[in-house]
A and B are shown apart, each in its own frame.
Chain A
Amino acid sequence: MNPLTLSLVLTTMISGTLIVMTSSHWFMIWVGFEMNMLAIIPLLTKEHNPRSTEAATKYFLTQATASMLLMMAAITNLLYTGHWSIMKLINPTASIMMTMALTMKLGLSPFHFWVPEVTQGIPLMSGLILLTWQKLAPLSVLYMIMPLINMNILLIMSLMSIAIGGWGGLNQTQLRKIMAYSSIAHMGWMLAVLTYNPTMTLLNLYLYIPMTVTTFMLLMINSTTTTTSLSHTYNKLPLITTLILITMLSLGGLPPLTGFLPKWAIIQEMTKNSSIIMPTLMALLALLNLYFYTRITYTTSLTMFPTANNMKIKWQFKNSKQTMSLPLMITISTLTLPLAPMMMILD
């Protein structure tokens, strides 16, 4: 992309999110969301093909609907309370509508249908931005209005998301769709604990983003989007297969890797508040996620997947993809479980 265009687009996207995160007036939050959405559309259609146009259209429609729902909720609240301030979202109707709007933006069940299809149609880097940066703005609004959210709706949506994120990913071989379902499930975990202790939501977010960034960077190094082409990694870069193994197991939430820490913290917070069946169900449904991550590691790292005979005679080019600070990301996303006592600084 033209560097000037790219910088304009990125700046608008970033400032959109920052406007959302720093505002206390519902109108400005709407403005921020719209800026963010409009700026990311060119990023989604970086490669000009019909599939990316379809993805961008779906993204636009869902996000615009959600923004309008957000505006409607704010105005309903204005009608009943006379306030535009986000802290005064007292009217229950407005609060529920706002929750629906924000979860639609996040891609939470039952509004998750756009996530796999949009993620599939866009290039890997745009998919990365979609699944990590775009979650920041809605989550920050949810964090701010946390006391006023109806807990039951959020818990039902989270449980459904974890289930759908687990079962939906089982039948996929396209890696971008797998990452999309993974994002749906992780968002479910994040929002489940929001009404109990929002610090754990942030902890999960702060660990989910490095893990997803790591996974996407590993995929970008190989320029692969399907499981089959990822399984050729052992021919090109055998070390990456080990990294894919531990990153995938970390995403699945397996101790002693970092991915276990958010799940442990969330289960702890929910159990402390005497909710016991819910975290057990959530933990058991997370095993579905682990299954398809393990399947990826089976095809990539743990077996030498069948390839054509000419794989070994490929030219070994120097890596020219943008993989910023991959070793740091790997370390953060797999080895920070011993730092668990330090997480209290998040408060």
Chain B
Amino acid sequence: MLKIIIPTVMLIPLTWLSKSNMLWINSTMYSLMISMTCLPLMNQFCDNSLNLSMLFFSDSLSTPLLMLTTWLLPLMIIASQHHMAKEPPTRKKLYITMMILLQIFLIMTFSATELIMFYILFEATLVPTLIMITRWGGQTERLNAGIYFLFYTLAGSLPLLVALIYTQTTLGSLNLLLAQYWIDSSTHIWGNSLLWLAYMMAFMVKMPLYGLHLWLPKAHVEAPIAGSMVLAAILLKLGGYGMLRITMMLSPTINFMAYPFMMLSLWGMVMTSSICLRQTDLKSLIAYSSVSHMALVIMAILIQSPWSFMGATALMIAHGLTSSLLFCLANSNYERTHSRTMILARGLQMILPLMAAWWLLASLTNLALPPSINLIGELFVTVSMFSWSNFSIILLGINIIITALYTLYMLIMTQRGKYTYHIHNIKPSFTRENTLMSLHLVPLLLLMISPKIILGTTY
């Protein structure tokens, strides 16, 4: 794993020592090369994980997430070039350093064996993200957004720390490789339910769960494009990854604790999808759609069946790429009109037809069109939810319809119809933007061919 971490750390001196005109090229190119070094990890054993060292390992759950993380850094750097163009070189380098620092922490989080190390790095990802949102966001609301983001996540995760240390003292070790061999026979006492809650609340806030999701629209909307991309694509998946790892350790007798969260997720999924239909702010729409998709992931993880775990993992990867792509598309609008209001930039298909193609593909994957991997995720989740409870199909069906509705609403509003008079002089699409969109879409479409690499541990 050091062969990925050390080059990523070395990207920081690369950034600071590059000449100003080579800055973006250097960092993009070398981060792309680092994402290539992550590919050999896909060579997994089918019944075990790649145990690389005492501290790091990678199994078929963490490898797709690691791939997504390393793939996303060059995309973030490409996306930030335009709005950072007028800043002095030191600030550009600081911004890229924040992204690289976040990358380092994320790589180490996804490959950590020891759960306390996972926790420390899980919290550590908050600091660069907070700095990116608060320092480089666009509007004054970014300060409030940063505080909400930081404190919601921290308040949820401090009980996790206590729970982890408690488990370490009672069970002896928190190594994930040993975790698969524990036989945890807890009884139905009140304390075990509290322990379950302490474990799960951190990840519920991070995912986010419907009742605790207030930080997400603020943070996603106020963040600069790289911040939005990394938040939507990876940081939400940290919650999902944590939950997938922890549910292995928790006792099966405490599964009744999942019911309130199932209810919140089922209802919240429909609610946040419905809110999307009434949004005027494009980024806010995509943020709420993230909450809705992640509610599906939460439900899948809570019912703990092999199909649902496969669906959750596939949905995490698919949603990461799709949501990041949608944020990039929204940003390309924002850079031209300097407004996030959807109706100010409509009828774009006549003016930017290639971008309209990317919008179309992004919308189609967002509404889980077959045979995209989004569909695989949603389908597996729906099927396993149906087997868990027949009535959930009603709400899930409603959600799928509303997802299609708001996605098509977004597509038609921004692309179709007559264009407004004030956008006749926007700049045409840059090659950089088209590259960015295609780099998002190519993995998404290619994974259709062999989705087994993103299906996680229970394939």
Using CB atoms and an 8 Å cutoff, list the residues of chain A in contact with chain B. Answer: 245, 249, 254-257, 260, 264, 267-268, 271-272, 276, 279-280, 283-284, 287, 290-291, 294, 298, 301-303, 337
Contact = CB atoms under 8 A, between A and B. Distances in A.
B334 to A, nearest CB: 21
B147 A256 contact: no
B127 A276 contact: no
Contact of A249 (B127, B155, B166): B127
Contacts of B182: none
21 contacts: A254-B126, A255-B124, A256-B121, A267-B161, A268-B165, A271-B162, A271-B165, A272-B165, A276-B166, A280-B159, A280-B162, A283-B162, A284-B155, A287-B154, A287-B158, A290-B151, A291-B147, A294-B146, A294-B150, A303-B134, A303-B135
A279 B161 CA distance: 10
Contacts of B162: 267, 271, 276, 279-280, 283
B143 interface: yes
Contacts of B121: 255-256
B105 A294 contact: no
A207 to B, nearest CB: 16
A267 B154 CA distance: 15
Interface residues of B, number: 26
Contacts of A337: 120
Contact of A245 (B105, B120, B131): B131
B161 A287 contact: no
Which 3 pairs, one residue from A and one from B, show the smallest C-beta to C-beta distance? Answer: A256-B124, A255-B123, A283-B158
B169 interface: yes
A249 B146 CA distance: 14
Given A249-B127, A255-B123, A287-B151, 20 more contacts: A254-B127, A254-B154, A255-B120, A256-B121, A256-B123, A260-B120, A264-B120, A271-B162, A271-B169, A276-B162, A287-B155, A290-B150, A291-B147, A294-B146, A294-B147, A298-B143, A298-B146, A302-B131, A302-B134, A302-B146
Nearest to B151: A287
Nearest to B165: A271
Nearest to A269: B165
A318 to B, nearest CB: 21
A303 B158 contact: no
Nearest to B126: A254
Contacts of A284: 155, 158
B143 to A, nearest CB: 6
A272 B164 CA distance: 11
A273 B159 CA distance: 17
Contact of B143 (A249, A264, A303): A303
Task: Name the residue in B105, B126, B143 with the highest tally of chain A Cβ atoms < 10 Å from its Cβ.
Answer: B143
B120 A290 contact: no
B172 to A, nearest CB: 12
Task: Name the residue in B131, B147, B158, B166 with the highest tally of chain A Cβ atoms < 10 Å from its Cβ.
Answer: B158
Contacts of B154: 254, 287, 290
A272 B170 CA distance: 8
B120 A272 contact: no
Contact of B161 (A272, A283, A294): A283
Contacts of A257: 127
Contacts of A254: 123, 126-127, 154
A298 B166 contact: no
Nearest to B105: A256
A79 B166 CA distance: 44
A302 B135 contact: yes
